[in-house]
Amino acid sequence: MKMKEKMPEKSYAWSKSIVTILKLGGSAITRKEKQSTPNTGVIERLASEIKKANIKPLIIVHGGGSMGHPVAKNFGIKEGYRSPAQLVGFSKTHYAMVKLNELILDALIRRGLPAVSIQPSASVMTENGRILTMETKPLLRLLELGCIPVLYGDAVLDTSLGFTILSGDQLASNLAVNLNASRIVIGVDVDGVYTADPKLDPTARLVKQLSLGELRKLKTKIGVSRAPDVTGGMLGKVSELIPAIEVEIPTIIVNATKPNRVYKALKGEKVVGTVITAGE
């Protein structure tokens, strides 16, 4: 009789504290100024970089960009339920994210990576926009088996608003804290955190190293995204990271639209970007 193949031991080479969380910003994986347009070139290149970096265990979270945000905005999904006419908007927002997620999964799986999608709207409940509960058992089991869970910002159910938008950044930060991740790598469409919005202000300077105290001060100066971003662009991003940085999870923000930046960040190599650490 053929022996059943053994499941990987629970004690094998992973522990919660070595999990890397990679957030791929919607601004990089979609054409932000062009509605419902994924940036397939960037998606394919990032999938190759992720394959080459070979980081284990890894969780990927991606944002919505021009796939998720315009439709969410049109139907006022973030603000919550006000009329039955919004319901199809809730469906459309989630569906847009599923389509984007499929492209990412497709690119990863074609390279032989065991990427498995986890649907946030079916595993997370929020209260006034903040994560209240999240079913993490399947995600942990996927990690134990050696798979790469892939989550995304999504239209989710909310105990007080009916529904809302959960950003990929809140999700990434929350997962990092709860799994005591070793680090967070964030890929966006600029080189990192600037002293002002680099797309509007030519004097804006890239901040290579940032402490939590400095980040809090800078928060007020960082630009709000020009494209319809219902979760707040760079400002929303850095605010969401604070709880993870507070518990000393090092975070690096790099430009995912430029080749090899995400690869180098994943490998822990020297790379252009902003490293954010705890402390004043």
Does residue 70 belong to the site contacting ligand IP8 (CB under 6 A)?
no
Of 142, 165, 181, 262, which one interacts with ligand IP8 (CB under 6 A)?
165
C-alpha closest to that of 48 among 266, 273, 268, 269: 266
Nearest to ligand IP8 of 47, 234 (CB atom): 234
Q: Taking phi first (over 0 means left), then psi (-120 to 50 degrees means alpha), and beta for anything else, what does residue 235 get?
A: alpha
The residue count for binding ligand IP8 (CB under 6 A) is 17
> Shortest distance, CB of residue 103 to ligand IP8, whole angstroms?
15
Q: List, as one string, the DSSP characters of 185-245.
A: EEEESSSS-BSS-TTT-TT--B-SEEEHHHHHHHTTTSPPPSS--TT-HHHHHHHHHHHHH
> Shortest distance, CB of residue 280 to ligand IP8, whole angstroms?
28
> Shortest distance, CB of residue 67 to ligand IP8, whole angstroms?
8
* CA atoms of 71 and 93, how far apart (whole Å): 6
Find the part of the chain contacting ligand IP8 (CB under 6 A) among 28-36, 102-110, 163-171, 173-181. 163-171
Of 49, 158, 169, 197, which one interacts with ligand IP8 (CB under 6 A)?
169
Residue partners of 257: CB distance under 8 A and separation at least 6 = 28, 39, 42, 189
* Site residues (CB under 6 A) for ligand IP8, limited to 91-130: 93, 97
* CA atoms of 179 and 216, how far apart (whole Å): 24
Residue 89's φ and ψ, nearest 5 degrees, are: -70, -35
Does residue 89 belong to the site contacting ligand IP8 (CB under 6 A)?
no
Of 47, 72, 103, 249, which one interacts with ligand IP8 (CB under 6 A)?
72
Does residue 222 belong to the site contacting ligand IP8 (CB under 6 A)?
no
Task: Point out which residues bind ligand IP8 (CB under 6 A).
Answer: 26, 63-64, 68-69, 72, 93, 97, 153-155, 165, 167-169, 230-231
